[in-house]
Structure 1
Amino acid sequence: MSNLTVSNGSLALGFVLVIVALIIGYKEKLGIDKDIVIGVVRAIVQLSIVGYILKFVIKTNDIWLTLACFVIIVINAAYNAGKRGNGIPKAFRFSLLAISVGTIVTLGTLVLTGSIKFVPEQIVPVTGMIASNIMVAIGLCYRNMKQTFSDRHQQILEKLALGADVKLASLDILRDSIRSGMQPTIDSIKTLGLVSLPGMMSGLIFAGVDPVKAIKYQIMVTFMLLASTSLGSIISCYLAYKQFYNEQKQLNINLIS
């Protein structure tokens, strides 16, 4: 294994890359300078804190601390996914359930098959990978659902007038929304090895692992992310679409206006 270290001096020099982004934003008048600075500062602070927490958790190797990290990751992912469904009632609850089920099922399968061990140095990072991808997928589902309900509300009203129930009237929107949540994962799978060398694989190769073994881990991660985003997308969509109707099964115009 190679001993990879990044000194504080190297990080300081690497900040030049951030300055490049700031210069581009300033020159093109994109209005994103403040967002870049805030994002970079938050990333540094958050990653530094998480690094020390993970160091403690891994060193302690306690099951309850590991489970606590799992819960914190899932709740935080659900909170951020819920914000992306702004305007959809109970978006946080739906996101929490979808992310919890998707993460538990995927993580449980990996542990039971022996792909990973139930130790903090494996459980915590993998949980973060799964939950973050489901979070992004759910955010895309919510955004697509809100936009499509708004665009197709007249069609839905016609279907309801002809006697369709809310599920039948919303079926096309459900399918489009689930597809939009899964599509980025599917697209990334198509280009694996040809365009992108993903984080898991690159990290292992950097650490000195045989590239062939690193590829096996990446294939496992690919299966993991595909399954988790599928579960998260379908659960969140089937829970959320009902919020676009009132108790009389009429379209909630206020939600899509």
Structure 2
Amino acid sequence: MKLEQMDPSDPTFWVDFMKGMLKPLAATAVVAMAMALSFSQRLGLEGEMIYAIARSFLQLSIIGFVLQFIFTQNNSFWILLAYLFMVSVAGYTAGQRAKQVPRGKYIAGVSILAGTAVTMFFLVVLSVFPFTPRYIIPVAGMMVGNAMTVTGVTMKKLREDVKIQRNLVETALALGATPRQATLQQVKRSLIIALSPVIDNAKTVGLISLPGAMTGLIMGGASPLEAIQLQIVVMNMLIGASTVSSILSTYLCWPAFFTKAYQLEYKVFSD
């Protein structure tokens, strides 16, 4: 019987769980190799590696038990709670990347929430995925993670470009352009830079590496044909969610970059 079908109060559950942890523990041998190389090259990363591995082990163990609980509940409330938690953490992280953007965490959080929610809505309505914890939570996690990265890069790059080309933006504003018109090229550049990795990944998927979702299914016993069906869906949803989130973040950044009189807010661009 699988662990997910067993009761944690049953001693057999913990015996099987500990047996399953032998392989992850054995895999730490490659980390020991990396630490030895770091030490030999005097990189000083050994402590960081130990901390990263210990933290990932703890986080994943906790998340595993949390998901085990949520999957057994099969309740929409727990799906939404888990989703909002992921969005909150992602918004904070993306906001930290663009910390010089005023209200950056709020802008990132709203953008990620909107982009992933709209994409998830279409997937559920079109019956691509059923609205159950087993499907929605992993899928939402992938979308939120990618939207977080793209949104953070978009906001940071937009601010940097506006700062570098401040004279051009101010000239356009003086000639009567709106903030959107004055920063159109900077917005385009930031979006292209942020979205290019997602698009390039979609172009080369399966040719250079097998993505995580596809690899997981194949290693779990699914046929390669079933795996590619899911991976195609995953790539489509990542592009959709990332694009909506990044574009929305540029619209939300404008009020912070300009005054009500359509002038650049200088304190935003001062280091």
Q: TM-score, normalization: structure 1?
A: 0.92
- Does residue 45 of the first structure (1) align with residue 53 of the second (2)? no
C-alpha spacing 1:215/1:177, structure 2 compared with 1 (3 Å): same
Aligned to 2:107: 94
- Hey, what's the Cα distance between the residues in 2 that align with 1:168 and 1:31? 48
Contact 1:174–1:237 under 8 Å retained in 2 = yes
Once the two structures are TM-superposed, the CA of residue 113 in structure 1 deviates from its matched residue by: 1.3
* CA deviation string 1:22-62 (max 9, x = no partner): 23333444444443332222211111110000001101212
AA aligned to 1:13 is: A
**How is 1:35-184 mapped onto 2 (pairs within 5 angstroms)?**
35-184=48-197
AA aligned to 2:105 is: F
Once the two structures are TM-superposed, the CA of residue 146 in structure 1 deviates from its matched residue by: 2.3
Report percent identity of matched pairs: 31
Contact 1:205–1:214 under 8 Å retained in 2 = yes
Aligned to 1:194: 207
Aligned to 2:12: none
Query: Which of these residues, 206, 213, 222, is aligned with residue 219 of structure 2?
Result: 206
AA aligned to 2:269 is: I
* Structure label with greater radius of gyration: 2
Contact 2:108–2:152 under 8 Å retained in 1 = no
AA aligned to 2:84 is: V
Between the two structures, name the one with larger relative contact order (CA 8 Å, sep ≥ 6). Answer: 1
RMSD (Å) for aligned C-alpha atoms: 2.0
C-alpha spacing 1:210/1:104, structure 2 compared with 1 (3 Å): same
C-alpha spacing 1:21/1:145, structure 2 compared with 1 (3 Å): farther
Once the two structures are TM-superposed, the CA of residue 222 in structure 1 deviates from its matched residue by: 0.8
AA aligned to 1:69 is: A
Q: TM-score, normalization: structure 2?
A: 0.87
- Does residue 240 of the first structure (1) align with residue 253 of the second (2)? yes
Aligned length: 255
Aligned to 1:223: 236
C-alpha spacing 1:172/1:27, structure 2 compared with 1 (3 Å): farther
Q: Which 10-residue stretch deviates more, 208-217 or 91-100?
A: 91-100
